[in-house]
Amino acid sequence: AQSVTQLGSHVSVSEGALVLLRCNYSSSVPPYLFWYVQYPNQGLQLLLKYTTGATLVKGINGFEAEFKKSETSFHLTKPSAHMSDAAEYFCAVSAGGTSYGKLTFGQGTILTVHP
Amino acid sequence: DTAVSQTPKYLVTQMGNDKSIKCEQNLGHDTMYWYKQDSKKFLKIMFSYNNKELIINETVPNRFSPKSPDKAHLNLHINSLELGDSAVYFCASSHYERNTEAFFGQGTRLTVV
């Protein structure tokens, strides 16, 4: 069984400040980890993913995340927030293989960016 | 050139009605999914089809019946709609052998009144 916990349902930052969205997972098998972003009334867009290999993964729009197995974490960061980053962010885990696209999502974190 | 497209985008209907949501992907993927996003924005998988075969069927009422006529299409039919069915339904697709991530459609907002 797999689960994802996103710490903080709302995160507010100033434009130009560091963005840190926290995600912890639980998985009985080596996890595949994803961050998706959802803008209002839109579908989900993949920001980045970790499958195997390098534990620091870079994604679109300047976001990156680090897989830390010992901490069962996959936190999302961006050095400098932009107004256009305001959206809801979802962390997700899958088991890979035939279940690769079967995602278990966290509760989501709404990111607000203040001018 | 939309990758995963769903129709309709909005659907308002009365309790007890039967409705369908259609999904098509042009990515050449072999696996398609239906996810439900509830009013609290929680996303949960409902079904998954690989090469037209049902491979994931989460605990979903029998009133929900997916149908995959071919690898590029996955439709969702809902019978006897209830108020609690109101949600946003997302279609997604991926490719098993190529291990591609899931690509999502824009969602269908279903409102049952």
CA B68 to centroid of chain Cα atoms: 11
pLDDT at residue B1 above 70? no
Yes or no, beta carbons of B90 and A105 under 8 Å apart: no
What pLDDT digit, counting tens, does each position of B18-59 carry? 999 999 999 999 899 999 999 999 999 999 988 888 887 887
A90 touches B at CB < 8 Å? yes
- The answer to whether the CB of B34 falls within 8 A of the CB of B24 is no
> Which chain A residues are within 8 Å of B30, Cβ to Cβ?
none
What is the Cα–Cα distance from A20 to B51, expressed in whole angstroms?
A: 39
Nearest chain A CA: its distance from B63 CA (Å):
22
What pLDDT digit, counting tens, does each position of A15-73 carry? 999 999 999 999 988 889 999 999 988 899 999 999 888 999 999 999 999 999 999 99
In a 3-state reduction of DSSP, which class is residue B22? strand
Instruction: Identify the burial level of B64 via C-beta atoms within 10 angstroms of its C-beta, where 0-12 means exposed, 13-18 middle and 19 or more buried.
Output: middle
Closest CA to A87 of A46, A44, A38: A38
pLDDT at residue A106 above 70? yes
R_g of chain A computed on alpha carbons: 13
pLDDT band, residue A81 (cuts 50/70/90): very high
Provide the mean pLDDT of chain B: 92
pLDDT of residue B66: 93
A22 touches B at CB < 8 Å? no
> Which chain A residues are within 8 Å of B31, Cβ to Cβ?
100-101
pLDDT band, residue B105 (cuts 50/70/90): very high
pLDDT of residue A45: 94
Yes or no, beta carbons of A100 and B96 under 8 Å apart: yes
Instruction: Compute CA distances B29 → A53, B44, B93, B111, whole Å.
Output: 24, 21, 6, 30
Greatest distance between any 2 Cα atoms in chain A: 44
Nearest chain A CA: its distance from B81 CA (Å):
23
pLDDT at residue A99 above 80? no
Contacts of residue A3, Cβ cutoff 8 Å, sequence gap at least 6 = A25, A26, A93, A104
Nearest chain A CA: its distance from B105 CA (Å):
6
What pLDDT digit, counting tens, does each position of B58-98 carry? 878 999 999 999 999 999 999 999 999 999 999 999 987 76
Q: Count how many pairs of residues, chain A against chain B, have C-beta atoms within 8 Å.
A: 64
pLDDT of residue B99: 67
A108 touches B at CB < 8 Å? yes
> Higher-confidence residue: B101 or B22?
B22
